[in-house]
A and B are shown apart, each in its own frame.
Chain A
Amino acid sequence: MLPSFCHKTAIKKSRRSHGLSAAFSVTDFGPVRTVVLALTFLVCYPAHIILGEEPVTRSPMGCLVPAHDFSNPLWLTIGEQKCLTCHQPGGDAAESPFVLMNPQKVELTKRNDAQRQNRAAFVRMATQTENGASRLLQKAIGNLDHGGGAVLKVDSAEYRLLSEFVRRSTGPDEPASRTNESPQRPFFDGVVMLDDRALLRRVTLSLAGRLPTDAEFAAIKQDGKGALPAILESVMKEDAFFDRLREGFNDIFLTLGVDGNADQTCLSYEHFEKTRHWYQHYDLSHIEDKNERQRTEWKIAAEYRQALLGESMKLIEHIVRREKPFTEIVTADYIMVTPYSARGYGVYEEVKSQFKNPADPFEYVPVKLKALVGRSRPEDQESATGFYPHAGLLSTFQYLTRYPTTETNRNRLRARMYYQHFLGVDVLELAARVSDAAAVTAKYEIPTMQASECAVCHRTLDPVAGLFQDYWRFADQGVYGQRKGGWFTDMFGPGYEGADLPADQRWRSLQWLGERTAKDPRFAIAMTEHVYFILTGRKVLLPPRDFEDPLFAAKQRAYAEQRAQTETIAIRFAETGFHLKQVFQDWIASRFYQADGLATAAAEPCRRAELDDVGLVRLLTPEQLERKVHAVFGEKWGRLTEQMATLYGGIDSKEVTDRASDPSGAMGAIQRTLSNDVACKHVPRDFARPVTERMLFPGIESMVTPGVSAEQDALIRQAIVHLHARLLGRDDALDSAEVERTFRLFAGIVQEARDRKGLDSRENYHCRTQKDVPTISDDPHYTVRAWRGVVTYLLRRPEFLYE
């Protein structure tokens, strides 16, 4: 009997012990992002769980790894990457006796069977010999006229892995080489979670840009984390949450990055000739001054364009705010318009009664547009219903403009972005190497259809590209229009995952796509991953591919653990009607979000690799940092905008689309400036307020000096505890080392000032003179400046600058 890691009994046991059986058996999760992902969860995820009865070995770095596993790493590194490309139904080697099943293409409940069949196919090939050697090994290195040539080098680790599989498959039965190793420790063993107060602060700052209220603190104190769901429910109804939501999803969809003026690039001359520039004819005759009138027109135009740009993200807000199924981002049969953008579409008169305030350029309401009418009949949009075939984001003018097409691109960019945005599949993420790509290109008349290396992706990508075929207008020409001469015949025809687009569905092809997308299990996974990205600022882990990496096993475990959490949340998301707030709730409740530290240092490379991505530890974005300054000081700093925001790692949604995750020296300089400037502004200002209105120094006056009496020192320490809590979210004791350090800083500055001669007895000029704001000016004991030093110090700490 061959040793097998993925014993059925073991899997059953793991399901029982981890309460996952419902998730596995009830929900059809269908194809997930990659074969790797699916198999990892279904077949390999139990790896660490069932190690109690499975043999384990150690990698060269000492990482505990399950032994004799077909799915990992053999399938991940060889089967899926090297063989499956051709050896699957529809593939170039579909007629060969070695045909594998692609687990992506089978239902979840049948994936174990698929993988068993794949394993059996490998064993069959391994045991067949020719010229005294295994056919499997010979084919892999390009012998026996292997159509795919050499896919492995003889001296590679992958080849050694395959050889070991062949040896075990063909050799005598041998008992599994058990070691005396203990089973792996639970993944989060020794990881310290955030305490309840800190967690509350993290979520209110993250989701609503504010500090927790006293009532929320009281609820947490009384009910612990049990109070969190209700608090989150409430937080996720605040306007600030929806600002954050739009900002987060724009980081993903980047629809604010439409080039040029949106009224011209999104709305075509062909279809909106008479309405898109409505502001040029807007009656401003009541403004007598010509210059003032001109400025008003410019302002209206700017707000109109901003409103147009914002529509896509407002659609997301609308869906979440109204607690609609999030699948509407691909199925909604409406768009969001404002009084201004409605004029651009020419529908203002029809919808104006829906606006609470028709003068508000940014009040959005849902609207269903009529089918577009062109300047000439051929440009009229086909529609069986008479309406524009809205399909959520997919058909918005902004999304289509942000991801335009060209004659040669043939909507493939759109198809690529569709897969990435809505199914979590990055088709170019890890491109397969082709032995001679140029030769392939030259050899075939239509490489994308005829060359297996190309067709393997284009067979999936091109049909979706074809679904966008009626949005065939290039830069600055709007989006809708059919290609003269019809759609390309030298690419796979319109369809989705093997199903052709029925001819009578052509006019609503994106709706047809959206309906299928909403049912595709990858959709729930992708949306769950998007929420993770919004909360953490980084993407979920990718499966490790490099089998030769000595830390492969540790990385694989980290990936599998996170993947399991993602799928658990996604399953719940799907089962509970695709309510996105539930995904936020579930991620926040997870240990991945709450992990905060370690009980003991993790020194072993394997354990460090496992924990490498654990813990939020997110450098605040410019927008988040401004909101935090506002939350703590009552006012934004106001300088992290435009160029400065870019310098601080922000994005412009066009050229710069990825936020910086680590601070450069330039960002360090900005942090210094921010800490200096915010402290300068708010310390003398806060002391000038009545005690009851103070945010920073509610229990102390500026005249209290250190070293005078025990009472005054105690007051100072209490003030420090308050500052630590307010600025850093720390819950420090009066006699803690942290408070002592800050006290020494404060006392040290005051003492040194006292020792120096000739210092001004007033606060720094720039800090004491603030326009229209009372500040404290006199500072005879240098205490105001010392407190300013303290606040500067605290603002530069990781606890303030990171989430």
Chain B
Amino acid sequence: MNDSGMRRDFLKWLGLAGLQFALPWRPYSVHAAEKENVPYPGPYYIVFNASGGWDTTYLMDPKGINEINRLYKEGDILTHGAHTFAPNKQHAVGGLCNEDFFAEFGRELLTFNGLDYSVNNHSPGARYMATGKLDSLAYPTFAALVAACRGGECPLAFLTFGNYSATGNLVAMSRVPYLPSLQKIANADAVDGNERSPYHDDFALARIEAALYEAHLAAEQQPRLPRAERSANMLYAAQSNSKALQRVTQYIPKSVPKERLAQQVEIALASFKAGVCVSANLDIGQFDSHANNDPDQMKLIPEFLAGIAYLLHRAEDLKIREQLVVIVQSEMGRTPTYNAGNGKDHWSIGSAMFLGHGIRGNRVFGATDEKQFAVPLDPQSLQLRPDAGIRIRPEQIHESLRELAGIADHPLSKKFPLGLTDNDKLRGFWG
């Protein structure tokens, strides 16, 4: 059914329920149902998490000194445009090496080094990096927040494949673990999803929808507990908006890729392309290389980069690459020294990378020093100021992300303030 047809149906439900001219105060659900017909056009936000803590000195913040890296020396460090990066072509196991990654995407890439996670435990680190708030369990992740602000009515507004995924009760979290799962739920009103075998005749289904809508409105007239109110609205929206999932099927690839990130990417992209999703939280783990750091990181970093490249290539195929905003992060870094097991332990300083819609690439801000400590920065000029600068923490990154997404002043964002003064905010970060 095309959009105008669906809209006619919606109006027809109102008619069937005798409600065309008697709509009370606009409920969230009506708003959602009305907007259901319009595919979300982007931008699409996608967060790559390297769960466990990546070794940034083997990627975008190379050192090669002070025994920080055993696989290369300072003189081996490579550059591409503004970027400096660790060489790993010789050591990478599978995936995409740094050399190829920066060669292809460096001009689009914005890197921030010397990010202070403030803690070095996985759980609070992951929460902090995902939400921008260290000391609260109530804050939504950026991906959830932007989904709620930009397209809460989308049936899969916020997709997650792991990592910290709190929603702040703003939007439902969707887990779609396998590509075929999308197919299963795409045509819910037909037997086995076969459009030719509907459970109900059209007119009967329209009346069911109208009755549900009427019941929903009637419930809204009753005094209810806040939880009941919220749940009823989310349930109604979930069912109504789920019809838009029909649009997804055409974008589900016939074959499922083997790589774990690529599988997540395909689900996210099909959902983006169908306009039923705003943000996706992608994740691979095992970066926590307390033992044998180098072999682990040489396997995982290339796998991670290959996943990012896969996303960008497939998005190109689907013609939505220009609408992507890609955030690449981890919840911590790794120590500048090796432990007795040839591993590296937790380090509270790290990096993040960004790429896509509204982001000017080929730039690097922030830095770590020769011992991998963060170098303070002037947030106004984005210049290093070892003596007068401040430590840049996830709050600043998240404030900037909110600005990039145009949601910094959204009422939902205001519910979750990041507590920064104007002087603390990064200026001109996105270029």
Contacts and interface: CB of A to CB of B under 8 A. Distances in A.
Interface of A: 155, 191, 406-409, 428-431, 433-434, 436-439, 441-442, 542, 545-546, 548, 595-602, 608, 611-615, 617, 619, 643-644, 646-647, 649, 655-656, 660, 662-673, 676-677, 679-680, 737-738, 741-742, 744-745, 748-749, 752-753, 756, 759, 764-767, 785-786, 788-789, 792-793, 796-798, 801-802
A438 B231 contact: no
B181 A647 contact: yes
B82 interface: no
A656 to B, nearest CB: 7
B348 A437 contact: yes
B373 A438 contact: yes
B367 interface: no
B100 to A, nearest CB: 30
Contact of A436 (B116, B181, B185, B215): B116
A643 B175 CA distance: 10
Interface in B60-82: none
Interface stretch (B3-11, B238-246, B352-360): B238-246
Interface in B158-196: 158, 162, 167, 169, 172-178, 180-181, 184-186, 188-189, 191
Given A745-B207, A792-B208, A407 B341 contact: yes
B204 A643 contact: no
A442 B237 CA distance: 51
Category for how many chain B residues contact A: 35 or more
Contact of A666 (B119, B162, B242): B242
B122 to A, nearest CB: 8
A108 B122 CA distance: 34
Contacts of B197: 765-766
Contacts of A615: 225, 227-228
Contacts, number: 268
A614 B227 contact: yes
Interface of B: 16, 116-124, 134-137, 154-158, 162, 167, 169, 172-178, 180-181, 184-186, 188-189, 191, 197, 199-201, 203-205, 207-208, 210-212, 214-215, 218-219, 222-228, 231-232, 234-235, 237-242, 244-245, 276, 290-291, 335, 339, 341, 343, 345-349, 371-374, 391, 419, 421
A668 B223 contact: no
B177 A647 contact: yes
B222 A597 contact: yes
Contact of B169 (A647, A662, A785): A662
22 contacts: A408-B339, A428-B123, A430-B137, A437-B119, A438-B120, A441-B335, A597-B224, A608-B226, A617-B231, A647-B175, A655-B162, A662-B231, A665-B154, A666-B175, A666-B181, A666-B185, A744-B211, A745-B210, A745-B211, A785-B200, A789-B207, A796-B208
B155 A664 contact: yes
Given A408-B291, A786-B204, A597 B374 contact: no
Contacts of B135: 430-431, 433, 545
B185 A785 contact: no
A447 to B, nearest CB: 9
B207 A752 contact: yes
Contacts of B245: 665-666, 669
B398 to A, nearest CB: 15
A642 B212 CA distance: 29
Nearest to A442: B371
Given A438-B348, A647-B177, A191 B199 contact: no
A466 B81 CA distance: 51
B119 to A, nearest CB: 5
Contacts of B208: 745, 789, 792-793, 796
A649 B165 CA distance: 13
Contacts of A643: 177-178, 180-181, 184
Contact of A542 (B122, B124, B137): B137
Specify which of A611, A672, A756 lies most central, judged by the most chain B CB atoms within 10 Å of its CB: A672
Contacts of A796: 208, 212, 239
B185 A676 contact: no
